[in-house]
Chain A
């Protein structure tokens, strides 16, 4: 699981172009939206695409994303349970 969390942090920084954020700065339980990393609605859509492309997970209901994308920890938990890649 810790490898997956590290992988997710790298992907989030790279795919969301967070040039001024270092991996060490993202704590597992930091909120990704709002006060935490400050991601926006377009970032949320990018994360949905990332789940599909990299882990074979299609979110049937985009509203599910709110819980899944709370933090790196919640993302990793969901991916570990539902991934097909």
Chain B
């Protein structure tokens, strides 16, 4: 076990609630994700018009990162933060939308704006653009949140000095259901970076 790495902060988004370090910071029990995430965008006074062009998975990941990365880096100081995300449904929500747009050969108008989101790791790109991150990144698909795998991968990035911090976790969207659990791992923090602690925070 690497005792040098810690969890600095963590964010959950699901069932209409955004929480930071275990405390709810925004609630809106909207019947659908679109209304909820739009209200969260306004609540956190996010000023980023490209947000509205994103697919659901990217909006979810972007908003969780937005809550976690409130402290903006200065323009001169590049933040060496890697991103390691995972989920179960990949980009299936957007894949289905794209498939619908090409299913009828008599009404065949594939949308370029939908197509560009037919990969799950695009949400990492959106976060990277917003926070000017040029660092290592990976996206993994699992049946369920795999704390052990993400921990090992993040530790490796930190221990080999590929990154100073890692933004990692789970961001999943499928058929209207959504769940994000993102956390920052670094050399300092209030929680030990262990499989047990990650799992405990995930289930909090």
Contacts and interface: CB of A to CB of B under 8 A. Distances in A.
Contact of B111 (A18, A20, A38, A49): A49
Nearest to A20: B49
Interface string B89-124: 000000000000000000001111100100000000
B52 A46 contact: no
B203 to A, nearest CB: 35
Interface residues of B, number: 10
B200 interface: no
Contacts of B116: 42
A28 interface: no
B112 A19 contact: no
A70 interface: no
Given A19-B49, A20-B52, A46 B109 contact: no
Contacts of A45: 112-113
B52 A18 contact: yes
Contacts of A52: 109
Contacts of B53: 16-17, 42
A27 interface: no
Contacts of B112: 42, 45-46, 49
B49 A46 contact: no
28 contacts: A16-B53, A16-B113, A17-B52, A17-B53, A17-B113, A18-B49, A18-B52, A19-B38, A19-B49, A20-B49, A20-B52, A38-B49, A42-B53, A42-B112, A42-B113, A42-B116, A43-B113, A45-B112, A45-B113, A46-B111, A46-B112, A46-B113, A49-B109, A49-B110, A49-B111, A49-B112, A52-B109, A53-B109
Interface of A: 16-20, 38, 42-43, 45-46, 49, 52-53
